Amino acid sequence: MLIVENPSQDQYDALCARASAPNVEVRSDVAAIIEAVKTKGDVALNELTARFDSSNVESIRVTLDSPTVDDGLSEAILVASRNIEAFHEAQREPVKQVETSPGVFCWRKSVPLERVGIYIPGGSAPLFSTVLMLALPARLAGCPEIALCTPPREDGTIHPAILFAAQEAGVTEIYAVGGAQAIAAMAYGTESIRSVDKIFGPGNIWVDTAKQMVSSDGVAIDLPAGPTEVALLIDATANPAFVAADMLAQAEHDVLSDVLVVALEGFNVAELEKEVASQLASLPRKEIAEKVIARARVVLVDSTNKALALINRYAPEHLIIQMHHAELFAEQIQHAGSVFIGEWTPESLGDYASGTNHTLPTNGAARAFSGVSLDSFMRKITFQRSTAEGLLALGPKVITMAQAEELDGHARAVEHRLADVKGSSVTRSAYIRRATKETNIAIQIDLDGKGRADCRTGLEFFDHMLDQIARHSGMDLSVRCDGDLQVDEHHTIEDTAIALGNTFNQALGDKRGIGRYGFDTPMDDALARVALDLSGRNWLVWDVELTREMIGDVPSEMFSHFFKSFCDGAGANLNIQAAGDNEHHVVESIFKAFARALGMAIARTGDPNVLPSTKGTL
């Protein structure tokens, strides 16, 4: 190991240099491999597999059978899977609609990538843990196609642990091909492997160089993830045996792995050297690790400020902090892929089972890149919608800016609309998205519509009732709900009602100029009385007795719950009484009466500035 005491800042760049930066020869070799795959397809893949992996495979595509692994290993993989899923599921972002200006609404939606490719190193060490780290978040994101490439063993097979992890994580295709040729195949496609939308995964210097080269050709990749590296920030309280073990854990990966130790004065370097030598002697991958340890740097500094400055300059893939009050120092780290805090948190924990993702930026890329996450497997689409009022308020500003940039066409696209808005009454409309773990709902409403309905919730009778609301109130209503109907109807109906109330309330605005109250009593064999007050206070009186368990595909108990949830979302006071011989008619009459009451309550009554309340507020 190289021991350096109190280096000047001029020396920091040299101390942070990795051995894994690709040279001209590597780039030339990788370029030749990529070109061979692009021109010769599967033939090139077979030739390169025989050349680099000493393996002849019968078929590039591997069958996803049921691999056999040791019971202890299968249990460990399943535990790791649960933790990885829990951590990545928590990263899911709900759709948040922001009213940036009055009447102008903006939001962002996550859409999964359709086809992703993951690369799994499998040469000297079959990294089945990386399968979990990449395929599990891809599956959680909703990617329908997950293709995996990994080098075959000499007998042409794939390590069973990789196959087991792939099956557990939801991989849809596996190919026995590794190295830069696998990256080229996923980027450009061959006869056996269709090209993917984005390539993920770590690898050696040739794999990382191939990813960088195909990305310059417009192919999306996750991040620069070459040979692994670790930095350790330690003080006199650190256990030299733990520090030595953490150094060797990364050193055993690859001869191009990198290790940097930054130690505050008082740490026993001599004891560390003894521990490294002792532990290295019995390490099965000693020949690899000792080459890395020979290049490892142990830098002694006399202040925490210098230690933090050097660590942030290095921007490590992995950072282990073994110091007194380690959490305090962790808060000051600006550049790192993943941080391991305290003496009981070895980097191995994150590599396998803590739940965080171990696919991280290397070679200083942590200054600009984050590790793989749920978001890595998604595209973000932004949306915006303006009401007529929103255009009236914001449009003139847009015209001014467009004209200043001498883009008159942009200005006129607003001017034509403003001319129409000013010559007609403003419609009252709203759009809301509401996403939870149980339902994903989108509702659009136009209170001044023509009674048009387009409602799709997965429950046909419920859709029919929502249609009644639109047709008999005169509003236009579109509803989309993707709910967990495999569990129960409850979430779909409740959440749709809440979202409908929210959308309705947003469309009403400040409620000036409306009737506020509504009531109706339609009659067939059933009589329904519905009274409605858009008071801003939620209350439901339900005086209806239903004896049938189901009406259509909706549980009878859910009808009162629908109206209660609507009142909660809209801030409405609702009184419903109904009876009759045919309970289908009873429920339908309730929805028709409710719709008629809504139509009366939202009707414009004259002066648009009058608020229908003696309190002066609703």
The reply to whether 507 falls in a domain is yes
Question: How many domains does the chain divide into?
Answer: 4
Q: Is residue 369 part of a domain?
A: no
Q: Are residues 408 and 268 in the same domain?
A: no
Q: What tokens were used for 203?
A: 């690898």
Q: Is the pLDDT of residue 523 over 60?
A: no
Question: Which CATH number do you get for residue 549?
Answer: 3.30.230.40
For 97, list phi and psi in degrees, rounded to 5: -90, 130
Per-residue pLDDT band at 393 (split at 50, 70, 90): confident
Together in a domain, 46 and 149: yes
Mean pLDDT of 500-515: 82
**Active-site annotation holder among 318, 358, 494, 588:** 318
Q: Determine the structural domain holding residue 14 and report its residue range.
A: 2-19+227-355
**pLDDT for position 556:** 95
Q: Are residues 96 and 181 in the same domain?
A: yes
In the 8-state DSSP scheme, what is residue 10? Answer: G
Instruction: For residue 534, tell me if it sits in a domain.
Output: yes
Boundary residue ending a domain (335, 355, 375): 355
Judged by average pLDDT, the poorest of 96-105, 135-144, 210-219, 604-613 is 604-613
Point out the catalytic residue in the list 168, 252, 290, 317.
317
Active site residue 317: yes
Per-residue pLDDT tens for 77-122? 999 999 999 999 999 988 888 989 888 989 999 999 999 999 999 8
Is the domain of 177 the same as that of 237? no
Single out the residue in 180, 198, 221 at which a domain terminates. 221
In a shared domain, residues 270 and 205: no
Average pLDDT (439-448) is: 90
Q: Verify that 464 and 512 share a domain, yes or no.
A: yes
CB-side neighbour CA atoms (13 Å) of 192: 23
pLDDT surpassing 90 at residue 268: yes
d(CA 604, CA 383): 30
Residue-level pLDDT at 265: 86
Q: Is residue 371 part of a domain?
A: no
Return the pLDDT at 96.
Answer: 87
State the CATH number of the domain containing residue 248: 3.40.50.1980
Residue 161 to residue 614: CA distance in whole angstroms:
73
Q: How many CB atoms lie within 10 A of CB 79?
A: 12
Question: According to the model, what pLDDT value does residue 374 have?
Answer: 97
Q: Has 145 been annotated as catalytic?
A: no
Tell whether 382 is covered by a domain.
Answer: no
Q: Are 166 and 294 members of one domain?
A: no
Q: What is the pLDDT of residues 329-365, one digit of tens each?
A: 999 999 999 999 999 999 999 999 999 999 999 999 9
The whole-number pLDDT of residue 430 equals: 85
- Alpha-carbon distances of 467 from 93, 427, 456, 601, rounded to whole Å: 31, 20, 10, 18
Report pLDDT digits (tens) over 151-201.
999 888 899 999 999 999 999 999 999 999 999 999 999 999 999 999 999
- Residue 160 inside a domain? The answer is yes
Do residues 160 and 232 both lie within one domain? no
- Which of 20-34, 262-276, 277-291, 396-410 comes out lowest in average pLDDT? 20-34
254 domain residue, yes or no: yes
Indicate whether 51 and 98 sit together in one domain: yes
> Quick one: which of 204, 190, 157 has its CA closest to 176?
157
Report residue 322 as tokens: 């073994």
To 10 degrees, the CA torsion angle through 303, 304, 309, 312?
150
Same domain, 69 and 207: yes
Residues 36 and 166 in one domain: yes
Residue 291: its pLDDT value, please?
A: 95
**Residues 196 and 271 placed together within one structural domain of the fold:** no
Question: In the predicted model, is pLDDT for residue 520 greater than 60?
Answer: yes
Residues 488-504: tens digit of each pLDDT: 999 999 999 999 999 98
